[in-house]
Amino acid sequence: MRPNAKSKIRNQKPKTFRAKFLDQKVKNLSGVVAAAFTPMHEDGSLDLARVPQIVGHLVHDRVAGLYVNGTTGEGPSLTGSERRAAAEAYVRAAGGRLPVIVQVGHNSLFEARELAAHAQAIGADAVSATPPMYFRPAGVGELVACMADVASAAPRLPFFYYHIPRMTRVELDMVEFLRQAGGRIPNFAGIKFSCSKLDEFQACVEFAQDRWAVFFGYDEMLLSALVVGARAAVGSTYNFAAPLYHRLIEAFERGNLPEARRLQGLSVAMVRILVRYRGMAGLKAAMKLVGRDCGPTRRPLIALTNAELDALRSELDGIGFFDFIHA
């Protein structure tokens, strides 16, 4: 084959691939996606035997997908081998019933690439990545270069950048990121936008149009995100309160804003309580309170004591939590 013919074929591959993967189910998700917990034993070791039951509950609750090894899954606190094991457990338990997005971000781009390649090999539906957080990208161009490196290790899967600046301290313009990433990452599919800046989220949604997905990541602000164009959201409380959010979305789509505001108000009250109980620790404790126990958090996060668990139960009961989380 002539050298120029080889070059022509190489140049055609990204275009052909893009047309193929953009029709996949992950980019077109709508509704709520559960940011899955990583179940643990009391000593902090993984308890992956619980995963099938957790996934079964989420299927019953009609969540749209699973986001594994993210913030809720304590991904940054897990070893590489643990992250692989957790990803395998969730992909196996989902069994094609729910799409699984695996978060592979790491301070080492080499490790992130290996995690991405592993996610593709085990049959995950997409990968996502936070940026390096210790030596942070200096600008949008460098961030895109880092994410292109990670995404290239799983070329058959849609890739989503995970924007969570309160944790990563990478506070760059996401519209400009979309502009550059769309042309430099062949399998780029969008952003998981876990930031409370609704004006920037709206700008991203309007710039992305139907080319890429922009998933919203603040459960307590879902209604506001729906107003400015959100179609799908990824969050922690969807693990145990998905029915509440289904009703919220349905009320919004019917144009019943008073009811949608009332339901979002319940979400706000719930989240405010959970935050007072150390956020992640409170979230995992809530799973125990609803019969979906996935164990404690791992250090440096501190799990709730029995007394705190009782107090949390009482506060949640006071806002009707154990009633409104059911269908």
3-240 maps to CATH 3.10.450.350: no
Residue 94: its pLDDT value, please?
A: 98
Task: Tell me how far the alpha carbon of residue 67 is from its chain's centroid.
Answer: 4
DSSP 88-125: HHHHHHHTTSS-EEEE---SSHHHHHHHHHHHHHTT-S
- The helix/strand count (H/E) of the chain reads as 14, 8
**Active-site hit among 161, 162, 238, 277:** 162
Question: Across residues 120-147, what is the average pLDDT?
Answer: 98
Instruction: Return the minimum-mean-pLDDT range out of 3-12, 156-165, 306-315.
Output: 3-12
Give pTM, 2 decimals: 0.92
Query: What percent of the chain shows pLDDT beyond 70?
Result: 93
Residue type present at position 159: F
Q: How confident is the model at residue 1 (pLDDT cuts 50, 70, 90)?
A: very low
Residue 24: its pLDDT value, please?
A: 66
Question: Across residues 223-250, what is the average pLDDT?
Answer: 98
Rounded-to-integer distance, Cα 27 and Cα 232, Å? 10
Q: Is 192 a catalytic residue?
A: yes
N residues, the chain: 327
Collapsed DSSP state (helix, strand, coil) of residue 67: strand
Return the residue matching tokens 């052909």.
Answer: 16
Q: How confident is the model at residue 2 (pLDDT cuts 50, 70, 90)?
A: very low
Q: Mean pLDDT for the chain? A: 93
**Active-site hit among 27, 192, 284, 288:** 192
Render pLDDT for 94-114 as a digit per residue (tens, 0 to 9): 999 999 999 999 999 999 999
Query: What percent of the chain shows pLDDT beyond 90?
Result: 91
Residue 149: its pLDDT value, please?
A: 98
Residue 3: its pLDDT value, please?
A: 42
In 159-300, which ranges are continuous DSSP H helix? 165-168, 174-184, 198-208, 222-227, 238-254, 257-276, 280-289
**Is residue 19 over pLDDT 80?**
no
- Token digits of residue 314: 């009482």
**Is residue 125 over pLDDT 60?**
yes
Answer left, alpha or beta for residue 320, where phi above 0 means left and psi between -120 and 50 means alpha: left
Residue 25: its pLDDT value, please?
A: 77
Distances (CA, A) of 279 to 66, 146, 236, 237, 312: 20, 30, 10, 11, 12
Instruction: Return the minimum-mean-pLDDT range out of 24-33, 216-225, 235-244.
Output: 24-33
- Token digits of residue 165: 């600046």
Collapsed DSSP state (helix, strand, coil) of residue 126: strand
Distances (CA, A) of 127 to 56, 122, 124, 166, 262: 22, 12, 8, 21, 35
Q: Is 162 a catalytic residue?
A: yes
Residue 327: its pLDDT value, please?
A: 75
